[in-house]
Structure 1
Amino acid sequence: MRSGRAFTGAAFAAVCAVVAAPTWAATPPAGYSGNPVFPGWYADPEAAIFDHQYWIYPTTSLKYSAQVGFDAFSSPDLVHWTKHADVLDIKDIPWAKKALWAPAMVEKGGKYYFFFGANDIQSDKEIGGIGVAVSDKPEGPFKDLLGKPLIGAFHNGAQPIDQFVFKDDDGTYYMIYGGWKHANIVRLKSDFTGVEPMADGTVFREITPGPEYVEGPMMFKRSGKYYLMWSEGGWTGPDYSVAYAIADKVTGPFKRIGKILQQDPKIATGAGHNSLFHVARDDSWYIVYHRHPLGDTIGNDRVTSIDRMYFDKDGYILPVKITNEGVKANPLQ
């Protein structure tokens, strides 16, 4: 472990009060995580379970000039969180110059792969896009794998950002990504050094679910169906939100069903860019997302929160109730 500090309960609230009083959440009930789940400005959280620990890898939500590294957070139970500082630093990515954000994580063969966006490129004339780093441990340190972007150009109008890596039941890894109102899916090579054609020869397949799509796609599979989630609205504003679609194939077609996560004027605004924890033991689902504290109008002032997510009897996702108390402890072992 590189750098660790645990937070919970009243101590958690005290730290938060120093950072952002009085807009931060109050002390949570005993046995609950509270929201935000850890102090500091963090966004775009990636949720993963490694070695009986919950992990969150968020964007460090600062101005682009200062957004040059990543921290990670681990927990045995969703309530007690330990910070692991500087798990990936821009100095270890030779082609990255600014604006690191939106991690995606995969463990394979005892290695941990950290996918990220860098440089916020606006055209194919710039160097940047989606990169990948690797480590022997989930807390890093991570080092750039390729010496160049994994995807460094626009395809189907999609800015190469906001990637999510999905492993299908047959062991195939796909990456879903895209900003600027376009989403693509690609098939990753088995060593994550590039992309390869799908069965029909397509390399970059567009799966944009509708005109409301903006960015932040993620995918999961449940009861044989593929669920695509994404963010809508403006990331700096109160209308940022999450919607979803369901399809029979990993490549869609995906047609928007509706929103399931959005602001509550009594709790927080701009709830979006999500990931998920699924605990197979009790089939519990948790949505991990960022939001703006009430009364705060600074776009980068985003905090990471967790709430429960439920399905109805037909497999549709029920609207998520965002809370200040967060979720109950759920130890993994």
Structure 2
Amino acid sequence: MRQLCRILFTAPFALLPLAVHAANPVFPGWYADPEAAIYGKQYWIYPTTSDAYAKQTYFDAFSSPDLVHWTKHPRVLDASHVTWAKKAMWAPALVEKNGKYYFFFGANDIQNDKEMGGIGVAVADHPEGPFRDLIGKPLIGAFHNGAQPIDQFVFKDSDGAYYIIYGGWGHANIARLKDDFKGIATLPDGSQFKEITPKDYVEGPCMFKRNGKYYLMWSEGGWTGPDYSVAYAIADSPLGPFTRIGKILQQDPSIATGAGHHSVYHVTKGDHWYIVYHRRPIGETAANHRVVAIDRMDFDAQGHILPVKITNEGVAPMPLD
């Protein structure tokens, strides 16, 4: 599952030559906002199709046995199976529950509560889809606490509760999902949407739990600019309050700019962590010219995330046993 945060499109995998490193970007094409998930012995990435809003009407997915060799699964979800989604389908969030796969997504880039759109959810029997709309309308279709309903992330806590963390326009909300993912439950204080916005938050939240602490990560800066980056905070509860620690992912002008909107892999065997993010290749200035990269993410003895070194080499193979 998500929280645990050289490309050869050939098969079978057993015939592929051994690669020393994946290389960044990890697969070709303009993609952004990658969602990282692990299902069985396969890594998955579900990115936004990085294009003009009117053309963002579908999602591709990519799977790999080792973080190096990736297979493309085209159009695992598209607008033809979501009657209310017309454009700007963004930032997938995936979760598996009881043998079903749930795909949360933003659509239509709504600017106020009078417009149709927001955060939806689709379901499939397999991680490669095909996904179909679960409820026939947005799960979150209005602004709460000033947060635009985009950039959702779904976090499963150790007690089995599922939370959705989301928000654009500089506001982050958390809400507890109902068990069937068809609605929003009530939080202990009686509310449904609790604002947990940390300092300098812009968009793209991601949450995981490590050694009893909750890590909230997010993107800040402008998504079209070189200052796009990732920072994080820590709390004792998924509901906060979160104390900002600092920035851990940002551009290296010699490698790539605009490094942000990420997710995380945690390979429990050996306790390996990876950050999956998008960035803009050197020399590219078009807003939608973004690619997906993976680099290592490490912690110090105090549990703080060390600054990530972005690379062209990428990561070494890491098969899932």
| Equivalent position amino acid for 2:87 in 1 | K
2:314 counterpart residue number: 326
- 1:8–1:33 Cα contact (<8 Å) kept: no
| Equivalent position amino acid for 2:219 in 1 | S
Q: Name the SS for the 2:234 alignment partner.
A: strand
Q: Name the SS for the 2:80 alignment partner.
A: helix
1:120 counterpart residue number: 109
1:64 counterpart residue number: 53
2:211 counterpart residue number: 223
2:195 counterpart residue number: 206
2:169 counterpart residue number: 180
Q: Please state if 1:276 is matched with 2:276.
A: no
* Structure 2 residue corresponding to 1:234, chosen from 206, 210, 222: 222
- The two structures have a TM-score, normalised by structure 1, of 0.91
- 1:262–1:272 Cα contact (<8 Å) kept: yes
Q: Which stretches of structure 1, 4 residues or longer, exceed 4 Å deviation after superposition?
A: none
Kindly state the Cα deviation for residue 8 of structure 1 after the two structures are TM-superposed. Answer: 3.2
Q: Name the SS for the 1:65 alignment partner.
A: helix
Q: Name the SS for the 1:195 alignment partner.
A: coil
Gaps of 5+ in 1: 1-5, 12-28
How many residues end up aligned between the 2 structures?
A: 309
Deviations 1:44-69 (A, max 9, x none): 00000002100000000000111110
Deviations 1:78-103 (A, max 9, x none): 00000000100111000111110100
- 2:7–2:22 Cα contact (<8 Å) kept: no
1:25 counterpart residue number: none
Distance 1:117 1:146 in 2: 14
Kindly state the Cα deviation for residue 297 of structure 1 after the two structures are TM-superposed. Answer: 0.5
* Structure 1 residue corresponding to 2:140, chosen from 142, 147, 151: 151
* Structure 2 residue corresponding to 1:74, chosen from 63, 85, 102: 63
Q: Name the SS for the 2:145 alignment partner.
A: coil
- 1:47–1:277 Cα contact (<8 Å) kept: yes
1:15 counterpart residue number: none
1:8 counterpart residue number: 8
* Structure 1 residue corresponding to 2:290, chosen from 284, 294, 302: 302
When structure 1 is superposed on structure 2, of 127-136 and 247-256 the one drifting more is 247-256
Cα RMSD for the two superposed structures = 1.3
Distance 2:86 2:60 in 1: 18
| Equivalent position amino acid for 1:55 in 2 | W
- 2:123–2:131 Cα contact (<8 Å) kept: yes
Distance 2:244 2:170 in 1: 14
Kindly state the Cα deviation for residue 255 of structure 1 after the two structures are TM-superposed. Answer: 2.1
Deviations 1:98-126 (A, max 9, x none): 11010000000000000000000000010
Structural mapping, 1:256-295, within 5 Å: 256-295=244-283
Q: Name the SS for the 1:44 alignment partner.
A: strand
Kindly state the Cα deviation for residue 167 of structure 1 after the two structures are TM-superposed. Answer: 0.3
- 2:275–2:296 Cα contact (<8 Å) kept: yes
Kindly state the Cα deviation for residue 180 of structure 1 after the two structures are TM-superposed. Answer: 0.1
* Structure 1 residue corresponding to 2:31, chosen from 42, 46, 56: 42
- 1:133–1:142 Cα contact (<8 Å) kept: yes
| Equivalent position amino acid for 2:186 in 1 | P
Distance 1:8 1:305 in 2: 15
1:22 counterpart residue number: none
Q: Name the SS for the 1:7 alignment partner.
A: coil
- 1:293–1:302 Cα contact (<8 Å) kept: yes
Deviations 1:234-287 (A, max 9, x none): 111110000000001110001211100000010000000010000000100000
1:20 counterpart residue number: none
Kindly state the Cα deviation for residue 137 of structure 1 after the two structures are TM-superposed. Answer: 0.3
Distance 1:279 1:97 in 2: 36
Identical-pair percentage: 73
- The two structures have a TM-score, normalised by structure 2, of 0.95
2:15 counterpart residue number: none
- 1:33–1:79 Cα contact (<8 Å) kept: yes
Q: Name the SS for the 1:196 alignment partner.
A: coil
Q: Please state if 1:165 is matched with 2:154.
A: yes
2:13 counterpart residue number: none
| Equivalent position amino acid for 1:324 in 2 | N
Kindly state the Cα deviation for residue 7 of structure 1 after the two structures are TM-superposed. Answer: 3.1
- 1:7–1:80 Cα contact (<8 Å) kept: yes
Q: Name the SS for the 1:87 alignment partner.
A: strand
